[in-house]
């Protein structure tokens, strides 16, 4: 009276015995342990890489921050030097203009003095000529008065011409 259930139970026991005999559960356990070990190792490697990436990121951020500070310092220094250069250039320009103004005023003063000297020389020359004419024409007093008036008028005209 052996029915199919008996044979299924016998085959199940033989199957379990064969599994134990060939150490299949320990091989499965070893395979799982090895997979767990590999996964743990990959996780540790990933954490190391993440830490290295974080270190590189923090170094890069520090370098970026330092670069920004250096750039800001360079800009500030450039602004200071350009302001100093502008002030110096402006000062030099004003000094140059003052010197040119003084030179021009000096030349104008010299020209005035030259004009005065020319007028005096012309006046003296006209006066000498008038006296010479008077001496040549010293005939009578009315004639002398007339010549004197003409000489004075000539002198005034000559002076006016020289001054304009």
**What are the residue boundaries of the structural domains of the chain, listed by start?**
1-35
Digit-coded pLDDT (tens) for 74-93: 999 999 999 999 999 999 99
- Residue 2 DSSP one-character state: -
Tens of pLDDT along the chain (164 residues) come to 678 999 899 999 999 998 888 888 888 899 999 999 999 999 999 999 999 999 999 999 999 999 999 999 999 999 999 999 999 999 999 999 999 999 999 999 999 999 888 888 888 888 888 877 766 665 566 776 777 788 888 888 877 777 66
Closest to 32 measured CA to CA, from 42, 44, 24, 43: 24
Give rounded-to-5 percent helix, strand, coil for the chain. 95, 0, 5
pTM of the model: 0.43
Kindly tell me the number of DSSP H helices and DSSP E strands found in the chain: 3, 0
């Amino acid at each position: 009276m052996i029915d199919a259930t008996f044979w299924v139970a016998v085959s199940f026991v033989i199957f379990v015995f064969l599994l134990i005999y060939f150490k299949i559960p320990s091989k499965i356990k070893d395979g799982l342990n090895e997979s767990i070990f590999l996964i743990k190792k990959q996780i540790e490697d990933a954490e190391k890489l993440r830490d290295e990436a974080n270190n590189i990121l923090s170094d890069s951020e520090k370098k970026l921050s330092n670069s920004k500070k250096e750039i800001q310092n360079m800009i500030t220094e450039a602004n200071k030097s350009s302001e100093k250069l502008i002030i110096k250039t402006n000062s030099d320009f004003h000094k140059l203009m003052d010197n040119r103004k003084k030179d021009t005023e000096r030349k104008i003063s010299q020209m005035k003095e030259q004009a005065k000297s020319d007028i005096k020389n012309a006046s003296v020359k006209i006066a000498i000529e008038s006296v010479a004419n008077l001496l040549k024409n010293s005939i009578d007093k009315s004639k002398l008065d007339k010549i004197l008036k003409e000489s004075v008028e000539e002198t005034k005209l000559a002076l006016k011409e020289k001054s304009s």
